[in-house]
Amino acid sequence: MRFREPSAWQIYRIQILIVAAVILLQAGSITWLVYEQRRRLAAELVTREAMFELTQMNRIAGAGELSASIAHEVNQPLAAIALNAGAALNWLKAKTPNLEEARDALIRVVSDSHRAGHIITSLRALFRKDTEQKGSVEINKVILTVLELVRIELEKYDIAVHTQFDDGLPPMTGSEVQLQQVVLNLVMNAKEAVQSAPLPRELRVESERTADGGVQVSVEDSGAGISPSDLPRIFQPMFTTKPNGMGMGLAICRSIVEAHDGRIWAEARAGAGSAFRFSLPADGT
Ligand code: ADP
Note whether residue 73 is domain-resident. no
pLDDT at residue 34, as a whole number: 92
The residues with which 162 forms a beta bridge, in sequence order, are: 204
pLDDT band, residue 3 (cuts 50/70/90): confident
Instruction: Give the H or E element holding residue 246.
Output: none
Does residue 108 lie within any of the structural domains?
Answer: no
Residue 223: DSSP 8-state: S
Using one digit for the tens of pLDDT, what is the confidence trace for 77-120? 899 999 999 999 999 998 889 999 999 999 999 999 988 887 77
Q: Residue 185 and residue 24: Cα distance in Å, rounded?
A: 53
Does position 277 have pLDDT exceeding 90, yes or no?
yes
**Domain assignment of residue 218, yes or no:** yes
Q: Which atom of ligand 1 lies nearest, measured to the CA of 246?
A: 3
pLDDT in tens, 18-66: 999 999 999 999 999 999 888 888 887 777 676 666 666 676 666 666 6
Residue 152 lies in a domain: yes
Pocket test for ligand 1, best of 182, 194, 250 (most atoms within 8 A of CB): 250
DSSP 237: T
Tally of CA atoms within 13 A in the half-sphere of 203 that contains its CB: 28
The verdict on residue 185 lying in a domain is yes
Residue 42 contacts residue 49 (beta carbons within 8 Å):
no
Backbone angles phi, psi at 128, to 5 degrees: -65, 150
Ligand 1 contacts (CB < 6 A) are: 185, 189-190, 193, 221, 223, 226, 230, 234, 239-242, 245-251, 274
Q: What is residue 278's three-state secondary structure?
A: strand
Ligand 1 test: best mutation among 184, 234, 265, most atoms within 8 Å of CB? 234
- C-alpha span between 250 and 181 (Å, rounded): 10
CATH code, 153: 3.30.565.10
Q: Specify the pLDDT at position 236.
A: 86
267 inside domain: yes
Query: Does residue 150 register a pLDDT over 80?
Result: yes
Does 215 fall in a domain? yes
Residue closest by Cα to atom 12 of ligand 1 = 234
Question: How many domains would you assign to the chain?
Answer: 1
167 falls within a domain: yes
Ligand 1 atom closest to 235 (CA)? 6
Of 150, 149, 126, the C-alpha closest to 60 is 126
Q: pLDDT > 90: what percent of the chain?
A: 44
List the domain range (segments joined by +) for residue 204.
136-285
The Cα–Cα gap between 245 and 52 comes to 19
